[in-house]
Structure 1
Amino acid sequence: MTDSVRRQQPRVPEDDPTVGVGVNADWKGEPRHRLVTIGDSLTQGFQSLAIFNTGLSYPAIIAYEMGCADQFRYPLYEGFGGLPFNIELLLRDLEARYGRTVDLRETPFALFRARSLMDRVEDYWERGPGRAVPSTTAVMHNLAVFGWDLRDALSKSADECQQRIDAPKDDLIKQMVQNACERAALRVLPTRPSAARALTQLGAAARLGEETDGTGSEHGIETLVVFLGANNALQAVTELNVVWSSDGYDDLSRKGRFTVWQPQHFAAELRKVAAEVAGIKARHVIWCTVPHVTIVPIARGVDDKITQGSRYFPYYTRPWIDDDDFDPRQDPHITGDEARQVDDAIDAYNDAITAEVRQARRAGKDWYLLETCGLLDRLASRRYAEDPLARPAWWRPYELPPALRALAPRPNSRFLAGEAERRTDGGLFSLDGVHPTTIGYGILAQEVINVMQLAGVQFFRPDGQTRREGPVHVDFDRLIRNDTLINRPPGNLDSTLGVIGWADEALDLFQRVFTGF
């Protein structure tokens, strides 16, 4: 990384959402829109390489706990298990046809079946019913789009996305939905009336903020959550390739070749985003820090750590490649030093986000900081939880809510695994090794709720009328019932890594999906 400062220790999380700056505010009236979110896949509710469970995204979970779930608007992706390709759907399809394991003699047939499923998914979204965009004049409350970074939030509108969708090609080998991010965005961003098609994520939120008539409030939005920046570094681990940003980082047509933004480029983009957020009429704004992407299980550390007490392994590769089989001359990987550099950059990103929040609070705005980076660090199994010598002085394990502590085994940040239709490891990350399971999103929802309560946001029972007193706790029993990877995992979960590794090698699934990010 050029122009960087190497840190001897990881950044200390900012545990005070107010960043030590008080704000005096006298709120009047009730904003029309209680919750609006701007973000990427983590806010949209992406799981197992697809967006499909939007009703269980962390914003939707929060809306449920606020008693306004019926009023909270979010897009739907109901066809063929979501967009672009749902690995859980693939595993269940293979299980229905071949049972818990795919015999070596059945591999060619299983490959053909997987390609057939991919072809049907591709046809649905490119040529079939999924191609039609629902027509509505209402602006979504969850304005997140998977794959988007700071520049996308600043520049992409429905018109821009429509122009970027190429004519469908029925490729017999590369059977993946083309322009999946743009197709997803057209269900998020306003498309009617025609003038609204020029609105970006930020512009759409500003439109909601202006809807104050008859509410007695100067703000149209009560709480705005901004969770952007992960995709300014995520591709370093999803592609296992570190390419630092340079000229063109702020150009929609040129930025795709970079996998990690240099901190000064991130800060420049962040200032522009923060300036637009400052103009949105939102009573409270919660900014989330960027998680360390090197912790997610899609990039597994190989061999012993570099030195005793180190945070890093010599290499990071795919989780389905065993230590004994790993060959750095042939297998995709990044080095431990590269992983450290990516983390250093993310720490600098988070310093910049913290500075924006502090500056806004000093100017009298009711902005807050949510340490999602520190949250993931506290859940990191292999980096800290299983290695006491690697823990920084500030580290302490995250206390899971009682309903999750009661699960056997307790959920952790390892790649999901199972045996005989029972989960044996993991549980916080879905089958793509990047995005949370439903219970994982519940943990994020709980942390946002904690900050909202600090801001004085009132929560209600599902009837929307009865006030909730005291600390608000997410109903994790409800989430467990709705989390199919926890309560009803695929019967072939015992060979999940083998199946996913086979699918990635044969079908190039991960490369095709995440390069679209």
Structure 2
Amino acid sequence: MPEADPKVGVDVSTNRAGNPRHRLVAVGDSLTQGFQSAAIFNTPLSYPAIVAHELGCLPDFRYPLYGGFGGMPFNLELFLRDLESRYGRTVDWWEAPLALFRARSVMDRVEDYWERGPGRTVPSTTAIMHNLAVFGWDLRDALSKSADECRKRIDVPKDNLVNQVVQNAGERAALRVLPTRPQAAGALTQLSAAAELGKDTEGTGAKHGIETLIVFLGANNALRAVTELSVVWSEDSGFDSLDDKGRFTVWQPKHFTSELRKVAAEVAAIKARHVIWCTVPHVTIAPIARGVAGKVKPGSRYYPYYTRPWIKDRDFDAGRDPKITADEARQVDEAIDEYNDAITATVRAARKNGKDWYLLETCGLMDRLASRRYAEDPQARPAWWQPYPLPSALQALSPPPNSHFLAGDGERRTDGGLFSLDGVHPTTVGYGILAQEVINVMRLAGVRFFRPDGDTLRQDPVLVDFDRLIRHDTLVIRPPGNLGSSLKALGWADEALDLFRRVFSLL
């Protein structure tokens, strides 16, 4: 059962003297960096940036930029729109060879841009980013990876005619996040970089350099089970090694807890007035792994198999198609429940020691938004479950967004809307929901929010401007016309280019 109280039942007295210079800092992975549709490109609309906008401090909130060819490693939305502009809503059989050539050409241009072209040059940075998240990172990466370490891990690029994806995309992305100057700064991890911001208190009258620190890590300790549709449990040797951990797709809870203790020790040393810890969502809810063949039994949360969303029930072949089983999905969820028990215990222990730490139940949030698992199956709902009330601006959309894979009819969105085209990461309005939940916890902590002028205090309730986010959310207001309800375009791309395996291997 999710923990309903962000204070986990423990009250804390907070030192609020002075005004911390850095109002919001976030460490995390792709969900915090703002990843969408298999690429990092839309960082001005990550959930921390949305929160900073509502705080009134967005002009001072630092985040990396990824211009050029729709970001990295590969922007599925731009790819589908490019195909649509040339071949219309469907690729006919006689156009397939040209479409395949075009697709490979686009992938080659993206690869060249980031490996050999302008994208290879990393801006020198002296100021530390406020959004320190990097896609694909797990607990060990947060502890060990620095700009110096990432440089060492970038291989000499090869212009591979078959595997046309950006090599070492995660490390290349991290170099735009982590500080590189002065020379010693290259050794800073995202946690130690946050610690440097925490020390920045001179002239503020505050004990802490950071007002609110968000920690959202751990999803990548289980996510590959659904992105790769393979469950490989961590072993006692290698789970905490940058060189060896790639063998595993899910961490055993004891290994996760071991890494979490180290992360928590570093976070405890950061001078942040408030710290918000996010729990790990159940990765099996993400629509990239669609349950097929009807639920195992009435009232069950699980389907016999989980496969790609474009493989329909009638076409699914357990002997041929990629899959995980109901038992594997259940075991992954149970492991994540233990991860979240460990995170909750960490927050509770810190509050008992006087630290103003909070728990944001992102796992419970996603469960409440889960369409196929709970919303459409009353028998499967646990006693605590209640549907998540969408903001009025989202309820007014037709249809209101849900957690199905995004679909359209060539003119408009017909389904989905909370997840982007990779079936894992939120759309812009999906990130807005997460931002609203963060804001709710920040207000509970007593954080003040201001109008964009930075001076006019906002009164409760502090609400995310979803009308603004809808205007920026191209997937919700106008999905690619070739997406369709059957997802044939994505299925074709995956079959012809092995696209999803290549991209997800970089996360």
Q: Same fold (TM over 0.5)?
A: yes
Quote the residue 1:227 is aligned against.
216
- For the Cα contact (< 8 Å) 1:13–1:374, is it kept in 2? yes
2:235 matched to 1:248?
A: no
- For the Cα contact (< 8 Å) 1:421–1:494, is it kept in 2? no
Quote the residue 1:160 is aligned against.
149
Unaligned runs of 5+ in 2: none
Quote the residue 1:41 is aligned against.
30
2:98 matched to 1:101?
A: no
Quote the residue 2:134 is aligned against.
145
Q: Any runs of at least 4 consecutive aligned residues in structure 1 with deviations exceeding 3 A, and if so which?
A: none
Quote the residue 2:279 is aligned against.
289
> Following the alignment from structure 2 to structure 1, what is the Cα–Cα distance between the partners of residues 15 and 33?
32
Tell me which of 105, 120, 126 is aligned to 1:131: 120
2:428 matched to 1:438?
A: yes
> Following the alignment from structure 2 to structure 1, what is the Cα–Cα distance between the partners of residues 82 and 485?
14
Tell me which of 43, 47, 53 is aligned to 1:54: 43
Quote the residue 1:87 is aligned against.
76
Shift of 1:513: 1.6
- For the Cα contact (< 8 Å) 2:215–2:278, is it kept in 1? yes
2:379 matched to 1:411?
A: no
Shift of 1:231: 0.1
Deviations 1:256-287 (A, max 9, x none): 01000000000000000000000000000000
Tell me which of 329, 341, 359 is aligned to 1:351: 341
> Following the alignment from structure 1 to structure 2, what is the Cα–Cα distance between the partners of residues 495 and 458?
44
The 3-state SS of whatever aligns with 1:287 is: strand
Name the amino acid aligned to 1:217: A
> Following the alignment from structure 1 to structure 2, what is the Cα–Cα distance between the partners of residues 490 and 320?
16
Shift of 1:319: 0.4
Shift of 1:203: 0.5
Name the amino acid aligned to 1:14: E
> Following the alignment from structure 1 to structure 2, what is the Cα–Cα distance between the partners of residues 291 and 25?
29
Quote the residue 2:177 is aligned against.
188
2:56 matched to 1:67?
A: yes
> Following the alignment from structure 2 to structure 1, what is the Cα–Cα distance between the partners of residues 349 and 330?
29
Name the amino acid aligned to 1:340: R
Tell me which of 100, 111, 120 is aligned to 1:122: 111
> Following the alignment from structure 2 to structure 1, what is the Cα–Cα distance between the partners of residues 272 and 498?
43
Shift of 1:23: 0.2
Name the amino acid aligned to 1:219: H
Aligned length: 506
Tell me which of 205, 226, 233 is aligned to 1:237: 226
The 3-state SS of whatever aligns with 1:38 is: strand
Deviations 1:42-61 (A, max 9, x none): 00000000000000000000
> Following the alignment from structure 1 to structure 2, what is the Cα–Cα distance between the partners of residues 454 and 70?
24
Unaligned runs of 5+ in 1: 1-11
- For the Cα contact (< 8 Å) 2:304–2:325, is it kept in 1? yes
Deviations 1:346-384 (A, max 9, x none): 000000000000000000000000000000000000000
Shift of 1:409: 0.4
- For the Cα contact (< 8 Å) 1:421–1:492, is it kept in 2? no
- For the Cα contact (< 8 Å) 2:413–2:478, is it kept in 1? no
Quote the residue 1:5 is aligned against.
none
- For the Cα contact (< 8 Å) 1:36–1:141, is it kept in 2? yes
Deviations 1:331-356 (A, max 9, x none): 00000000000000000000000000
Percent identity, aligned pairs only? Answer: 78
- For the Cα contact (< 8 Å) 1:153–1:200, is it kept in 2? yes
> Following the alignment from structure 2 to structure 1, what is the Cα–Cα distance between the partners of residues 81 and 504?
22
Quote the residue 1:470 is aligned against.
460
Quote the residue 1:319 is aligned against.
309
Quote the residue 1:169 is aligned against.
158
Shift of 1:420: 2.7
